[in-house]
Amino acid sequence: MAFKERVFSGVQPTGNLHLGNYLGAIVKFVALQDTYDCIYCVVDLHAITVWQDPAELPRATREVTAAFLACGIDPKKQIIFNQSQVAEHAELAWVFNCVARLGWLNRMTQFKEKAGKDRENVSVGLYAYPNLMAADILVYRATHVPVGEDQKQHLELARDIAQKFNVDFASSIHAHGFGETFFPQPEPIIQGPATRVMSLRDGSKKMSKSEPSDY
């Protein structure tokens, strides 16, 4: 099955947007809309993998959306939306929880970095969120995903999940007229400079919205 080329990407509404978000993601989102059909998402379900103030999260979601618009993403041409308003993201993520293998998630290095030494007390959502990321991408059958260097491993997981789903359910996919594959193998788009912007406070770490200081 030939899939229409489509870009999907998202930004979490946690903390203030910083230079790394702008240079590493949003500037590139703007450029991609000239050559692709694009879907840009404010991923608030990803945000709640760690505790969020329920009163603060809607405001932060609006701010990220406003930043998308202010930086030049055209809502008349591309789709900008809030992840939690589309239930299919969570529904497909559960299916992918049952398709993905535990060993695959155990290899995700970013979980180890985010969980730190206190892994027993982090949420299951933080561990399994790469499956939700795969659902975000594949629910729209997106073919391309702009990613930084730190997200390449998660996109590889999404490709593994798509392939396993296609193989496991091949007979059903074919019977329903979808050809040989239901999900595409999404490709990374890693463009130009700023694929990994480092913290100005600690040059050994990636710049992050979870930094203790907004500076």
pLDDT (0 to 100) of residue 207: 45
8, burial (CB in 10 Å: exposed 0-12, middle 13-18, buried 19+): buried
* Distance between CA atoms of residues 54 and 100, nearest Å: 30
Structural domains in the chain, CATH included, are 7-189 (3.40.50.620)
pLDDT (0 to 100) of residue 179: 83
Global confidence as pTM: 0.84
The rounded average pLDDT for each run of 10 residues, N- to C-terminus, in the chain (215 residues) is 90 73 75 93 95 94 91 92 98 98 94 85 94 98 90 95 97 88 94 52 54 53
144-146 β-sheet, strand order: 79-82, 37-42, 6-11, 144-146, 187-189
Residues labelled as active-site residues: 114, 206, 209
Q: How far is CA 145 from CA 1, 28, 142, 175, 201, in A?
A: 19, 11, 7, 29, 29
Cα-Cα-Cα-Cα torsion 12, 152, 21, 124, nearest 10 degrees, comes to 30
